[in-house]
Amino acid sequence: MAFTEAALVAQLDANADGREITLVSFIPGPTVTDVYAVGVIAPYAGRSRWTQLTSSNTAAQAATQLQNALTA
């Protein structure tokens, strides 16, 4: 099942304090979801980018894909 924006945010910010990775834009598509994310704390601090996430991923898989993109 495809992930939702809320599910992805919950995976990225477990404390719900907006201090880890902030999603600025979330554009779902049939096969790819485009996300613009901004890293707030290390190791993501100072990094931001558009990332294409596989829409069929779970929220946990999408979060890992986004975290990897921000640290690359």
Local mean pLDDT, 10-residue blocks, the chain (72 residues): 89 82 94 95 90 95 95 87
Give me 54's structure tokens.
């596989």
Number of domains into which the chain is organized: 1
The pLDDT score that the predictor gives to residue 10 is 92
Q: State residue 17 phi and psi, 5-degree precision.
A: -115, 0
Nearest of 50, 51, 55 to residue 32 by alpha carbon? 55
**Residue 10 structural domain:** 5-71
Look at the pTM and tell me if it is higher than 0.85: yes
Residue 37's SS3 state is: strand
Give me the count of residues in the chain: 72
The pLDDT score that the predictor gives to residue 28 is 94
